[in-house]
Structures are given as C-alpha cells and as structure tokens.
Amino acid sequence: MNAPSRTATDPYEPRQQSVALVDDDRNILTAVSIGLQAEGFATRVYTDGETALKALIENPPDLAIFDIKMPRMDGLELLQALRAHSALPVIFLTSKDEEPDEALGLAMGADDYITKPFSQRLLVARIRAILRRSEFARSQTGDAAPHETPETIARGRLELDPARHQVTWAGQPVSLTVTEFLILEALAARPGVVKSRNQLLDAAYSEDVFVDDRTIDSHIKRLRRKFRAVDPDFGAIETLYGAGYSFADA
C-alpha cells in the first residue's frame, strides 16, 4: 500500500526556513541566494535598505543578512530602524577595512558578522547556528516536555522567560536579540558569579561559530543601553576588569 503524499501544509513536513538578503550588489545577491537555496533555505532579495525595512517588518523572515555599505540607507541605518520594531536575527557582511562598522553593528544588536570574501560553507554554518539559538528562544512552553521546559528566572527586578524569549525589568518589557538574551541568561542564572568572555561566548554561540571574545563587550554595552532605556539607574551587569562580567541580584 502506497504511503499518502505530503502536501505543503502537512504538519509533519519540516518548515522551510527563510533568509532575507539585502545588498546593492546584484551579483552577490544572486550568488548567495542560489547557494542558500541549494542548502534548503527560501530566500528573498532586496537591493536597498528602505524597501527591505518595510518588508522585514510586515513579513519577517527567520534571519536577515545585510551588507553594510549601501546607498540611501546603509546596513547600520537599516539595523537601527529594524531594532525599533523587531529582534530579528541579523548577520552583517563587511569588508576587511570596515572593522569599526563591525563593532558598531554588534553594539547596535547584530548577531554576527562575516568578512568578505567569505566561503558559502562558513555563511551556512553561521546561519544555522543563529537559527538554532533563535528557534530555541522562541519555542513555546507547550511545545516541550515538562522536564524540558526552561524555568522563568527572577532576579530582583529582572524576570527572564527562556521559553517565550521575554524579558522585563521592574515590569517593563526589554526587547533583546537572541545573542543578548543568551548572554543575560548565562549571567542571571548564577548571580554574583563572574563569567569570563569565553564562558559567555560558549553560552551565546555554537561551537561552529568563531568570533573574537571582545564581541562580548559590544553585546554587554548593548544590553546595558537597553535596560537603561527603561531604568536610567540600571547597574545589575557588573564588570570585573581583567576577569569578566557578573549579574548583581538586587
């Protein structure tokens, strides 16, 4: 007896993950899009930031890749505008002479960056690592077995719900990227314990993603800025110079 064929709406069929590409270089868009489609991703391409912003807000993909240098609205401006509406995972494509932009992009909430020229294998590995973290963070409590459901972490005025990827400070919501959330979770899980940059990298990045440990500094600055937007006196993330960071349970 033949097995019934599956349709696009079959609940057992794995959902195809989508990646949006934003770059004014059509050759790069075409090459990267074809490569990602060969790896099973659905892709959308945009040649300017303004058009992309509207589409990313109205119909968000699973992840977006931005070139930094674009006319009219560059990648940094696009990320800044997007972060006012969404914590969508974002990877930057940068040139070797754009190191200050890389640091700024991470400080603004980008999840990763890749320097041109890059290999397709590296790009796919980074995408999959970020999507794994993102899927876990967005997973709902009802989707996991009881013993697998992460518990809500309450530390003073902080409340962090890993199952729903929700964070509040003194009752006020704080929107975090996946990487920022995982760093904060690692710190808040053991208040007062100093975590080194390498330990925080291990918590926030997969083993197949390699970034400089100073990347953590940019994420910490971004976290502090976001919390101070709702509480100017926020000081729960403390620095122990030469050692790392800790969370003060106050």
Q: Work out the widest C-alpha separation in the chain, in whole angstroms.
A: 68
Residues near 90 by beta carbon (within 8 Å), at least 6 away in sequence:
63, 64, 65, 66, 79, 82, 109, 110, 111, 177
Cis peptide before 117 (omega within 30 of 0): yes
- Print pLDDT tens along the chain (250 aa): 343 333 444 444 567 899 999 999 999 999 999 999 999 999 999 999 999 999 999 999 999 999 988 888 999 999 999 988 888 999 988 875 666 766 677 777 788 888 887 888 888 888 887 887 777 655 543 344 444 445 788 999 999 988 777 899 999 988 887 788 889 999 998 999 999 988 888 887 665 555 555 778 888 988 999 999 999 999 999 999 889 999 997 6
Q: What is the pLDDT of residue 170?
A: 93
Provide the CA 9 distance to its chain's centre, in angstroms. Answer: 28
Burial of 62 (C-beta count, 10 Å sphere; 0-12/13-18/19+) = buried
CA neighbor of 102 nearest in space, from 48, 130, 66, 126: 66
Q: Does this model's pTM top 0.75?
A: no
- For the chain, domains (ranges, CATH) are 18-138 (3.40.50.2300), 142-247 (1.10.10.10)
End-to-end Cα, the chain, rounded Å:
64
Residue 189 has which token pair? 């899980």
Give the separation between CA 99 and CA 94, rounded to whole angstroms. Answer: 8
Give the separation between CA 221 and CA 103, rounded to whole angstroms. Answer: 11
